[in-house]
Structure formats: C-alpha cells, structure tokens
Homo-oligomer: A and B are copies of this chain.
Amino acid sequence: MLMFRRVAAARRCFSTSAIANANRALYYSEHGPPPSVLRALTYPNLPAPSPGTLNLRVLLSPLNPSDINVIEGVYPLTPKPTAFPSVDHDVFIPGNEGLAEVTETGPSVSGLQKGDWVILTKPQGGTWNSALNVGAQDVVKIPRTEQLTPVHAATLTVNPPTAYNMLRDFVDLQPGDWVIQNGANSAVGQAVIQIARSRSLKTINLVRNRENIEELKKELTDLGADHVLTFDELAEKSTRAKDIRLGLNCVSGKPTALMARYLGQDAHLVSYGAMSKQPLSLPTSLFIFKNLTCQGFWQSRWYTSRSREEREKMVNELVELITSGKLKEPKHEVLTLPKGDSDAEVANKVRAVIAKMNEGKYGRKVLLRIEEPDD
C-alpha cells in the first residue's frame, strides 16, 4: 500500500478501507485501439468524501468520438492516472461527460445535497465509471424535471455548449442573420440548428449525400433548418446572395473550401472537428481580400478558461432551452452493462460498440449505463 499512499496527491486513489465491491469502471493501461486496450474492473465502495468533494453515482455516460481519441492517445488531454489496489500499475478511466447523482457530500460543500443531479464541467473526469469522487466546484447542478431527461442531461456537457458558444463567441449575430455549417447531422450540428432557430438566426446546413437523403433533410428541417443541401447541391448554386458572417466546420478538406467561398466579407470560419481527416485548406486570397478569420473551438478550453458562474449560467440557459422544448434529445441508444456480467463481458460489449463506431456504422449517440455489480 505504500506506493498508493506516496502518489496519492498526484492521482486518484481508491482506498481499500470499504469492502463491498460495489463499483465498476472501464479503463486502459496504455494507449491503443479501444477494441484492444479497453478493460473493465470491479472495485470497492468509495470512502467518505473529503472536504469540498462529492461522491457521485454515474447514471449515464456517452461514448463520444473524442473519448475514443483519448484512448488511442491522439487527443491533447488525458485522464489523470488512477490507482486501484487490485491493479499493480496506474490506469486511466475515460469518459468526458455524463449525468451523475450525488450520493454523499463532504464537509464544507454547500448548495449540493444527496439526490441532486449534476454534470461534470471538468474535462476528462472519467465518467465511464459507476462512481466518482469529484470537487464540488467541478460540477454544475441541473434540475430534476420531467422535460429534462437523463439522456438530455448526460449529453449536456459537450455538444450543446459547443453549438451555443460557437454561435455567441465569434460574431455578433442578430435575428435574421445567416450561419452556414457542414456536418449538420452531427450532434453539434443538430444543436446548432435548434439554438440558431431559438435566436431567430437562419441556417444553411451541408450534409454528405446518402441513400436516405430526403429523410435526413426532413429531420433537420423539422428541427428548424432553413436550408439543407448536399455538397454537390451547394457546388451547383450559382448565386451567393447572402451575407454570411459565420461558418462552422467539423469536416475540413475540399468540401470546406467550397463552403468557405459562400462566406461574406469579414466572416469567421470556426472549426470544431475534421471528420474528413483532411487539413483545412483554403485559398489565401480569402484571408487577404475577404478578411476571413479562421479559428477553432474546443469546449474543454472554454470550461477551463471560464469561471464557475459563467459555466453555470451557460448550462442553465441550455437547460431552459431544453425545458421549453427548443432543444431535443440527440438520436441515441443506451448500452446497459448489466450487474451480472463479468468484467470481461462488460469490456467486450463496449469494445464491440466502439469497433462499430470506428467503421462509421453508428448514426446515433451511444450512452453507457454501468450497473453497480454484485459484490
């Protein structure tokens, strides 16, 4: 046990003082493809929370593409190392967002109590875990109301804030102004459509052509999209009448150069992804003569650079959009990891889903429900 105590300040450390094996976490010991390196572990109850911290029961946690990048080792943030008594080396628990319920509050915690719902605003909190101990300042409480479902709450930390902040932080948009985006069917893209609509902004939404394109167009139009176009349809447009000052990019590559041509003078092109795995490649003349500004947005940076008050204000505004019916649940499915399964069975289930996600076979968000295993 000496080793665990010695490094406790630098990493999470699960005590062995509680006996019951009531929790389960997914983890990796070294970076690699998740279908190879992801494992599961059953471990004892958490000790009572130290001053200023909370113990949480995680209810639902999404498998986001960036979580896969974290495990692969190609993401610029990693979880803190965690020490388990039953593993002879440090491990890393993935999971950047999720809905949790407060099970116990430590001394000096105010404004939060047992039974409250919270979401984590500290990046890489390790939510692929049935239990967590976190600082009270690293969560935001959200209301337990009928309109705000567990799925809403579990997916509230990354995608809707990305959409919300990209529509606020770069261009002073007024009702009636236009925004153009690619990857419009992504979770962020769908949030952009809905949040823009709530502000009376108009959206031009680009998607890849596909078999069920008309069905997809209807879905996005029902969410509030003003125009939905494939890249081919955009290329055929000859008029560029609209003065578009904000473009949102999660694709990069050639289709984004095409989109950028539709931006007006002094526009901002904000990137939050690169699904084409191609660079962002634009004619230099757009920068020089049209005064284009290209920037990036990363919700993790937003959280770490803003005060707790700003984080709470933003989350509360999103909650208000959800409870007033203006921001719908993302398309999703829940993957339950049953209490009766062994750690190996649990790990295999998640590995299989990630393998499918990597093949691009999931059009919907997958959320983990990790049941507390039997002792």
Contacts and interface: CB of A to CB of B under 8 A. Distances in A.
Interface stretch (A89-97, A140-148, A275-283, A307-315): A275-283
A288 B282 contact: no
A284 interface: yes
Nearest to A298: B288
Nearest to A270: B287
Given A279-B257, A295-B293, A284 B288 contact: no
A28 interface: no
A284 B252 contact: yes
A292 interface: yes
A12 B288 CA distance: 28
Given A274-B285, A281-B280, A284-B252, A293 B294 contact: yes
B297 A288 contact: yes
Nearest to A292: B296
Number of copies: 2
Q: Which of A279, A287, A289 has the most CB of B within 10 A?
A: A287
A289 B252 contact: no
Interface in A258-306: 271-274, 279-298, 301
A287 B282 CA distance: 14
Contacts of A273: 284, 288
Which of A280, A284, A301 has most B Cβ within 10 Å? Answer: A284
A360 interface: no
A125 to B, nearest CB: 19
Interface of A: 76, 249, 252, 257, 271-274, 279-298, 301
